[in-house]
Amino acid sequence: MQIVRNSEELARARAELAGKVALVPTMGALHAGHMALVAEASERADHVAASLFVNPAQFGEGEDFSRYPRREDQDIAMLEEAGCELLWAPSVADIYPDGFSTKVSVSGLSERWEGEARPGHFDGVATVVAKLLLAVRPDVALFGEKDFQQLAVIRRMVGDLGIPVEVVGVPTVREPDGLALSSRNAYLSPAERQQAVALPDALKAARNTLQGGTAVATVVRQAKQALVDAGFLKIDYFALVDAATLEPLDEPRGEMRLIAAAVIGSTRLIDNLAV
């Protein structure tokens, strides 16, 4: 696997890749969920590239940028084993050089849920993803469905700006007990890790009761109470939304998602489930 550290090296390396290229953008601290993205990328393209960049622009004040797990050597080994051919690991100065003053903002989709809980987060995501796509020029870019709102924002941005790339969502990879794989799971203490499974359990129970005909308001209230009872300290949101627009639904209709974000200990977890 070729590792490049700046835009000039990237341009040369990218020019050497003939055929269809797939990109897997990451912030490192890789796990089996990322490897599922790489595996899907291998099925869809002749060459797989990945990026490794902990993006400061998507972390808000008081968030975990400084303690976000960084383990580049392990990440490189995992990507090589998975068949990745090119890794772009730029510096902050390369992505945001002196005088950088442009921001990509996706209105509508980005304003509720994560956008409300983490002001400015999706501006940081959209800006860096736009830069990654324009620099690597992949034919396909793959993102996990665990960050479902992020996936929707990126799809809208790519469509609105006419960036010539196919955006593919890959289903969430979970632990055997149902907890969605996340780099932030490393923050959980052993006791918190046991409690954290209440989040996917609440989503599954909510889906089942919705399908049984229970009113949406009742389902949401029961799910939030289950999280509180399990030891979650704060619930940012738990909602049934339209899968395309992310607008909240008072009654089931069409393609839907249950989405949730809650804090246990000092760790904020997000998850979602198709309905």
Residues acting as catalytic residues: 34
Which residues are CB-neighbours of 104 under 8 A, at least 6 positions away? 123, 126, 127, 130, 157, 161
Q: Give the C-alpha distances (Å, rounded to integers) separating 15 from 8, 128, 135, 150, 208.
A: 11, 21, 11, 29, 50
- Kindly calculate the radius of gyration of the chain based on its CA atoms and give it in whole angstroms: 19
Give the residue among 69, 72, 102 at the shortest CA–CA distance from 89: 72
The answer to whether the CB of 49 falls within 8 A of the CB of 92 is: no
Give the Cβ contact number of residue 4 at 10 Å.
19
Residue 206 structure tokens: 């909510």
The answer to whether the CB of 51 falls within 8 A of the CB of 28 is: no
